[in-house]
Chains A and B, each alone.
Chain A
Amino acid sequence: MVHPLLNIAIVEDHDALREVMVEILQAQGHHVQGLDCAEALDDSLIRSHIDLLISDLNLPGADGYSLTRRFRAAHPLAGIIMVTARNALDDKVNGYQVGTDIYLAKPVSPDELVAAVNSVARRLQAHSTQGQPQAGTSLQFDSRRSILSGPLGTCTLAAAESTVLTALARAPGQQLEVWQLLELLNLDLDTYTKSTFEVRLARLRKKLVQVGAEKASLRVIERGVYRLAASLRVY
């Protein structure tokens, strides 16, 4: 998996531990600066933009909570990982409340640290590329405004259409059986005829084609099984 590279600040007063963490993440290609106290972050923020803050809870001077709270207020979208030897419930709850995204208990394994950082990187990338056309991804669906968009334009989907499309997008192999779709739409399996359902899906297919998908993007692959062949991201 390829992850975007981040600007990371690690605030940890234990020298050896900080150096190891810096090294591990640098080896992944990230740009990392190690800082030994909360106050040092202020200076470093002036010089560079930070995508991810990794902070210890116990720090000399201002503690990890107040650091996190301040950083979160200024950077609502950045990632924050809190690393701490304290594993008490109150600490974790406080940590999340002041703006922590991920809470890691010490000792943190290098693999876990890297994976957590990658998770933040993935999310930051997903947010920054939202609404932009992506290679290999033809369609996006704005669920809040119910707007489907593709290379050829946009169109509005009816509530039932958005339900069908979203369900197909997250289904295994992007395929669902007719009874599953009927169930999703709260339609009676006994009385609802297949042909009426097909008319509905034909209308949805038309919209898909209208925004630039191929005609085969929504089709029956075998008796009673529908497949979405286009790649769709739901926001």
Chain B
Amino acid sequence: MHAISPSVFPSTFPGKALGIVVAEDHDALREITVEVLRGQGHQAVGIACAEEIDDAVGGMPIDLLIADFHLPGEDGMSLIKRFRAAQPLAGIILVTASTQVDLKVLGYNNGVDIYLPKPVATEELLAAVHSISRRLASQSKATAAADHNAFRYDPTQRWVSGPLGRTELSESESLILASLSRAPGQRLELEQLQVLLQLDASAFNKSAFEVRMVRLRKKLIGVGAERSCLRSIRMVGYQLGITLQAAYGQQQRSPRG
């Protein structure tokens, strides 16, 4: 992989930010890959062996696994197999120096979505990740569209609607909802929310912020969400518990009766 500085790539990632695990035993390669992915706005964690997925990843939801075939101990294929069994829709990219057809076939049959031969150019990896991100977004959009209790929001007109009606949002509420819905696992850390809302960290008032979130939760409950729609996760931050569909500029066309 070419050592391209992450700053070369715009951090304005057009799609959804993904939770990504990079399983690669070559330290420098793993680190640069993680760094590049983070530069794109993804939440990326590197692991040096397959077994680390069991204890080192924490509670981060994994949308995409990028695994090298050769790993010390449990190999990449075995990792892919068990990850695929648990998460049928997540993305899996297999990276390997081998060009053997047998290995590719085995990979696809075990759940690989994309096979990339090493050395992988950074641009190619990012394009492949982008392709998976696009697909995951289409899938969750289709799932939300099939759910008639889905929640919709309009980030420009600033409203959110659900089965019980529609309510106006403040600018910061709209920003919080939009960001949470794009975040990996729909969760953000408190610090990330602070940065997002441009709150001064030194003067940050936690209880005032909590009041803000309680008010937003009340609005969501008002349009039909359950109490778990906006949850505070201890030691982490906040998680959005509903699926939100962006509905740009549909205010006039689809008034709720």
B-binding residues in A (CB < 8 A): 1, 76-77, 89, 92-93, 95-97, 99-103, 109, 111-112, 114-116, 118-119, 122-123, 126-127, 130-131, 143-147, 156, 159-160, 162-163, 166-167, 169-172, 176, 179-181, 183-186, 232-235
Contact = CB atoms under 8 A, between A and B. Distances in A.
Given A102-B113, A115-B108, A170-B82, A130 B55 contact: no
Interface stretch (B57-65, B158-166, B211-219): B57-65
Nearest to B65: A170
B12 interface: no
Given A118-B109, A145-B243, A96 B131 contact: yes
Given A99-B134, A162-B59, A186 B83 contact: no
A171 B101 CA distance: 28
Contacts of B127: 92-93, 95-97
A125 to B, nearest CB: 9
Contacts of B124: 89, 92-93, 96
Contact of A115 (B87, B104, B185): B104
B113 A123 contact: yes
Nearest to B126: A93
A220 B61 CA distance: 25
B23 to A, nearest CB: 12
B231 interface: yes
A145 B241 contact: yes
Contacts, number: 148
A160 B127 CA distance: 33
Interface string B82-113: 11011111100000000001101101110111
Contacts of A109: 101
A176 to B, nearest CB: 6
A99 B135 CA distance: 9
Given A111-B105, A170-B82, A159 B233 contact: yes
A184 B59 contact: yes
Given A1-B109, A77-B142, A89-B124, A146 B228 contact: yes
Most chain-B CB neighbours within 10 Å: which of A1, A119, A131, A232? A119
A183 B242 CA distance: 28
5 contacts: A89-B124, A112-B101, A127-B142, A145-B242, A172-B82
Interface residues of B, number: 59
A76 B112 contact: no
B108 A118 contact: yes
Contacts of B87: 169-170, 233-235
B59 A97 contact: no
Contacts of B53: 170
Given A146-B228, A170-B86, A111 B113 contact: no
A108 to B, nearest CB: 9
A97 B14 CA distance: 12
B104 A76 contact: no
B113 A101 contact: yes
A101 B135 contact: yes
A57 B239 CA distance: 43
B130 interface: yes
A235 B121 contact: no
B167 interface: no
A76 B141 contact: yes
